[in-house]
């Protein structure tokens, strides 16, 4: 029997219900800016060991909650667990991005790919979710997550990080059927994976479409949006008597907010390029909004951060449906005191918008 939530601000805001203060969590809140994270990371030896050892993943997930009054925890994991479970051989080299030993390059490679069983090939993630949920003991909700099909496909076809996405984009243009087959398999894998996270205890889920913003308008709709839609259609929207909000986040996706909101998800993540007031005009009452402070400000000082928090809260204005966050992950060089200032500013300054 899972503990009742002591702080449900995050879930309520995602469902556009009234809250006393705007909830906040921070993308990559369990990360290198925390000395205690760096310590566990060093003990683990390599990054994949950290991700694939439930006790360690649980420990780093909980670390930021011990320091800051954050309103949600997010599973510590990597976005590329699914391609790894598909047999591509994920590895990390120090100072470089993720890489795959066996990238996908031909139609035959795509044919061979199966849908990983989360309780088998991704068991370490699901076990981490179970452990974290239990350790949280209802303190705050736990967010499960996955990369979007398009974002996963970029790494799988490019063999790692990319700037120009030339291989995968050549596939979209010249072999669209192969791309659709790959993306269909990925969408179904993500849906099964997120549902398994929900069954293991995740109380909200988020799809990170980190590279959707690199696509042309018709390609975004056909190769990224359509497959996030396919995920939303398959997700558990309620589990164990509770609604499970689903958040979609396309970085650089400000041009497609109306289309993203029309998928039927509960909330949209926003990077800092789109103003919250304009986003609200575009999506109306369809979805909640999560964001959207430029992470660069975290390198300044508490007074400057507080001023920007005030601006962003005012930009959203009165009403329900705002979860505060950065517009992208917090970077490793940040002073944790600035994070404390951010969290406090959001809670203190937002109360006036929830009377």
Is 193 catalytic? The answer is: no
Per rule CB under 8 A, is residue 278 in the interface with its own copies?
Answer: yes
Residue 132, SS3 per DSSP: helix
Per rule CB under 8 A, is residue 51 in the interface with its own copies?
Answer: no
Residue 130, SS3 per DSSP: helix
Binding string, 159-198, against its own copies, x = CB under 8 A? -----xxx--xx--xx------------------------
249 beta partners: 208, 269
Binding window for its own copies (CB under 8 A); candidates: 108-116, 132-140, 294-302, 344-352: 294-302
Per rule CB under 8 A, is residue 281 in the interface with its own copies?
Answer: no
Per rule CB under 8 A, is residue 155 in the interface with its own copies?
Answer: no
Per rule CB under 8 A, is residue 306 in the interface with its own copies?
Answer: no
Is 117 catalytic? The answer is: no
Per rule CB under 8 A, is residue 301 in the interface with its own copies?
Answer: yes
Is 155 catalytic? The answer is: yes
Neighbours of 285 (CB within 10 A): 11
Phi, psi at 267, each rounded to 5° = -150, 155
Per rule CB under 8 A, is residue 95 in the interface with its own copies?
Answer: no
Per rule CB under 8 A, is residue 269 in the interface with its own copies?
Answer: no
Is 335 catalytic? The answer is: no
Alpha helices in the chain (DSSP H): 9-14, 35-44, 47-52, 54-67, 81-83, 107-112, 123-136, 149-158, 166-174, 176-200, 217-219, 226-234, 257-261, 276-283, 302-316, 336-350
For 344, counting Cβ atoms within 10 Å of its Cβ (0-12 exposed, 13-18 middle, 19+ buried), the class is middle
For 352, counting Cβ atoms within 10 Å of its Cβ (0-12 exposed, 13-18 middle, 19+ buried), the class is exposed
Please state the closest distance from residue 64 (CB atom) to its own copies, in A: 21
* Residues at the interface with its own copies (CB under 8 A): 164-166, 169-170, 173-174, 213-220, 252, 254-255, 272-275, 278, 292, 294-297, 299-301, 304, 308, 311, 327, 331, 333
User: Which residues belong to the active site?
Assistant: 28, 32, 41, 78, 155
């Amino acid at each position: 029997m899972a503990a009742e939530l002591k702080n449900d601000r995050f879930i309520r805001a995602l469902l556009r219900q009234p809250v006393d203060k705007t909830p906040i969590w921070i993308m990559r809140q369990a990360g290198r800016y925390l000395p205690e994270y760096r310590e566990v990371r060093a003990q683990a030896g390599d990054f994949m060991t950290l991700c694939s050892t439930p006790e360690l993943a649980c420990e780093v997930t909980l670390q930021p909650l011990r320091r800051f009054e954050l309103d949600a925890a997010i599973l510590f994991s990597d976005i590329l667990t699914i391609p790894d479970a598909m047999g591509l051989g994920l590895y990390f080299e120090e100072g470089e991005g993720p890489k795959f030993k066996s990238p996908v390059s031909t139609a035959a490679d795509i044919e061979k790919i199966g849908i990983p069983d989360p309780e088998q090939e991704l068991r370490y993630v699901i076990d981490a979710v179970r452990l974290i949920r239990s350790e949280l003991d209802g303190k705050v909700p736990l967010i499960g997550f996955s990369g979007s099909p398009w974002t996963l496909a970029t790494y799988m076809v490019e063999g790692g990080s990319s700037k120009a996405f030339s291989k995968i984009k050549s596939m979209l243009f010249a072999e669209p059927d192969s791309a659709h087959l790959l993306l269909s398999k990925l969408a179904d894998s993500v849906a099964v994976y997120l549902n398994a996270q929900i069954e293991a205890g995740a109380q909200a889920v988020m799809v990170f479409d980190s590279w959707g913003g690199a696509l042309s308008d018709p390609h975004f709709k056909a190769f990224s949006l359509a497959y996030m839609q396919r995920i939303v259609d398959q997700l558990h929207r309620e589990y164990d008597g509770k609604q499970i909000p689903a958040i979609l986040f396309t970085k650089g996706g400000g041009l497609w907010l109306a289309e993203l909101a029309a998928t039927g998800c509960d909330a949209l993540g926003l990077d800092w390029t789109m103003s919250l007031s304009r986003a609200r005009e575009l999506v109306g009452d369809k979805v909640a909004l999560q964001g959207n402070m430029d992470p660069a400000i975290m390198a300044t000082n508490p007074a400057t951060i507080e001023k920007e928090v005030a601006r962003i809260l005012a930009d959203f204005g009165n009403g329900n449906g705002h979860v505060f966050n950065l517009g992208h992950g917090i970077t490793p060089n940040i002073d944790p005191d600035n994070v404390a200032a951010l969290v406090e500013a959001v809670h203190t300054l937002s109360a006036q918008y929830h009377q």
